[in-house]
Amino acid sequence: MKMRIVVIGANAAGAKAASKAKRINPYADITLIDRGEFISYGACGIPYFVSDTVANIEELMSTPVGVVRDANFFKKVKGINVITGTEAVGIDRQTKTVHLKQKKDSGLFSVEYDKLVLATGSSPALPPLKNMELANILTVKSIEDAELLKQKAVSGHAACIVGGGLIGLETAEALKQKGMKVTVIEMRNQLLPGVLDAEMASLVEKHCRMNGVDVMTSSRVTGFGGTGAVASVMVDQCEIPADLVVLAPGVTPNTGLAKEAGLEIGATGAIAVDTCMRTSDPHIYACGDCCETSHLITGRKVYVPLGSTANKQGRVAGINAAGGEASFAGILGTSIVKIFNINAGKTGLTESEARACGYDIETILSPAPDKAHFFPGAKPIALKLVAERPTGRILGLQAVGEGAVDKRVDAVAAAITFGATAEQLAHLDLAYAPPYSAAMDNLIVAADILKNKLAGHAKGISPMDVKKKMDDGDDFLLLDVRSPAEHAEVSIEGAKLIPLGMLREKLDSLPKDKEIVTFCKISLRGYEAQKILDAAGFKDIKFMDGGIMTWPYKLRSDTSLK
């Protein structure tokens, strides 16, 4: 008898699992079931459809050559049976049967399986909020959401985005581009929590404000006002007018079916799987947004649902379900987002994640142009590397800026998969020509500074710690070693100016025993200044990580990330 493989959920992970299973075992009978009418679509593209960047919703459901991936496509091209508009309501593991219910006519029926793949996805993690049933309170998940959102995005009207994560920010940009007045409301004290550390996130927040998006952090939404349709959002003590609300909180795995069937659920709340994507039942696999995975740096179980991971896991689940052999080791939590003109991404652990995991760490902030500085179109990007102190192993990278952030994130993602140290990162043979990078790529420079810090040659202090010293009224000297022209354009209040080229001659004008914090535009001259002062016998010299370019606070003239 033909092997019967049933896949529940026909988006990224499920569609991939079904297709791969059929390729591995062309004689298998494969059924792909989805509760929606649309399958195998690019949900990640929804904000771009809303902003008119993508003109036609069909583009999100098509192959690169323009064929719509519908039931007919899967039947004709892949040899897979697709049942849409049908919900799986129960799994009988004894008889290996899935019970199904057609939404429209409520007819109940069932399919038998030899192997079952769960790709049930995730849902927005909505807390109970007052008046959530009002019209024009939407999420960003399905094709139906996309069409409704586009229809409601009326120029001049006010939109509130609840949640300042990846999807929240993409949607904020989309609605702003449609001419709406946009406010992002985030519960945590920064945008992109879990993706960026606070000082990196502040660069993103600055950029959002520059582009006319209002940002409220440390703000909790308690409910909505209005009759029939939403008219306002209640945030802590105040009420913000809103014609449209987009709920973009985190997501939660759809585990109902798995739980009822008695499958093991992991500590993260998602379906537990082994590296073969097998659940606690050897005949049932899970992949994509419904299951957990391992973090390659910490070894811990994590829940980081992403389309890229879903595809890889779907492939592995499909191969194993069809009788082949494949495994998926885990992820690095790599993620990236474009917001107006800047790109913000990370791979591995942020500083706060690393500290929370108990690592003894060193960090470095390093801003620099993404191409040879003389090449037109070179744009700044700020890198933050996090390394384990005793070993020098790189734990993570964050990158924010107008330039090519994705390239540096991908290179570091590849390197830390293999446990790269700062030393090894500094010697990567990356592709160099002026249109692509400086002769010393940003990553190489950042890794070199990190090496200097790990070895104790460079003594850095973070912008936040400098700000704290200022606020605490500490007795220290903030020394700007940039040129007078740079200093005149923008500077930090209270800093003393001695251009680096004059420093060796003006040593006598500085107090030998006082704490001095040097800085420049990006930190390289700041570090040179530290070395000059160290060599001249000064006792307590540090340079400020990232220089004025990553100073997240007020400047005398606010043009630092231009």
Q: Is the dihedral of CA 139, 141, 143, 146 positive or negative?
A: positive
Figure out which of the listed residues 157, 207, 407, 487 binds its own copies, where binding follows CB under 8 A: 407
User: Does the annotation mark 357 as catalytic?
Assistant: no
Size of interface with its own copies, in residues (CB under 8 A) = 103
- 329 counts as binding its own copies under rule CB under 8 A: yes
- 5 counts as binding its own copies under rule CB under 8 A: no
Q: Give the nearest distance from C-beta 108 to its own copies in angstroms.
A: 31
Structure tokens at 149: 């959102």
Tell me how crowded residue 214 is: count the other CB atoms within 10 A of its CB: 16
**Comparison of 166 and 291: residue with beta carbon closer to its own copies:** 166
Tell me how crowded residue 422 is: count the other CB atoms within 10 A of its CB: 26
**Comparison of 34 and 243: residue with beta carbon closer to its own copies:** 34
CA distance 545 to 350: 16
For the chain, how many residues are written? 562
Only one of the segments 1-9, 107-115, 148-156, 410-418 lies at the binding site for its own copies (rule: CB under 8 A); that segment is 410-418
CA distance 221 to 440: 46
Q: Give the nearest distance from C-beta 369 to its own copies in angstroms.
A: 6
**Comparison of 80 and 129: residue with beta carbon closer to its own copies:** 80
Judge contact between 29 and 3, C-beta under 8 A.
Answer: yes
- 409 counts as binding its own copies under rule CB under 8 A: yes
Task: Identify residue 451 by its one-letter amino acid code.
Answer: K
**Comparison of 90 and 307: residue with beta carbon closer to its own copies:** 307
Per CB under 8 A, contacts with its own copies among 435-464 are 435-437, 439-441, 444, 448, 457
**Comparison of 225 and 375: residue with beta carbon closer to its own copies:** 375
Residues 6+ apart with CB under 8 A from 381: 343, 367, 368, 369, 370, 399, 400, 401, 402, 403, 404, 405, 408, 442
**DSSP state letters, 530-554:** HHHHHHTT-SEEEEETTGGGG--S-
- 414 counts as binding its own copies under rule CB under 8 A: yes
Per CB under 8 A, contacts with its own copies among 268-327 are 296, 306-312, 315
- 521 counts as binding its own copies under rule CB under 8 A: yes
Structure tokens at 353: 């994640």
Per CB under 8 A, contacts with its own copies among 334-363 are 334-338, 343, 345, 347
CA distance 553 to 562: 15
Tell me how crowded residue 157 is: count the other CB atoms within 10 A of its CB: 18
Figure out which of the listed residues 331, 365, 466, 516 binds its own copies, where binding follows CB under 8 A: 331
- 177 counts as binding its own copies under rule CB under 8 A: no
**Comparison of 216 and 339: residue with beta carbon closer to its own copies:** 339
Which stretch of DSSP H or E encloses residue 411? helix 405-417
**Comparison of 126 and 326: residue with beta carbon closer to its own copies:** 326
**DSSP state letters, 168-185:** HHHHHHHHHHTT-EEEEE
Q: What share of the chain is helix, strand, coil (3-state, %, to 5)?
A: 30, 25, 45
Per CB under 8 A, contacts with its own copies among 38-77 are 42, 44-45, 48, 53-54, 59-60, 62-65, 67, 73, 76-77
Q: Give the nearest distance from C-beta 146 to its own copies in angstroms.
A: 12
| Parallel/antiparallel/unpaired status of strands 232-235 and 238-241 | antiparallel
Closest CA to 477 of 461, 489, 457, 488: 461
Q: Give the nearest distance from C-beta 429 to its own copies in angstroms.
A: 4
**Comparison of 246 and 413: residue with beta carbon closer to its own copies:** 413
Figure out which of the listed residues 38, 224, 285, 328 binds its own copies, where binding follows CB under 8 A: 328
Figure out which of the listed residues 132, 148, 210, 430 binds its own copies, where binding follows CB under 8 A: 430
**Comparison of 91 and 503: residue with beta carbon closer to its own copies:** 503
- 9 counts as binding its own copies under rule CB under 8 A: no
Per CB under 8 A, contacts with its own copies among 490-519 are 500-502, 504
Figure out which of the listed residues 119, 143, 411, 461 binds its own copies, where binding follows CB under 8 A: 411
Per CB under 8 A, contacts with its own copies among 12-31 are 12, 23-24, 26-27
Tokens 């586009």 correspond to: 150
Catalytic-role residue among 44, 208, 291, 357: 44
Structure tokens at 256: 């109902």
**DSSP state letters, 435-446:** TT--SS-HHHHH
Judge contact between 21 and 322, C-beta under 8 A.
Answer: yes
Closest CA to 514 of 493, 539, 492: 539
Per CB under 8 A, contacts with its own copies among 211-250 are none
Q: Give the nearest distance from C-beta 194 to its own copies in angstroms.
A: 15
Residues with catalytic function? 44
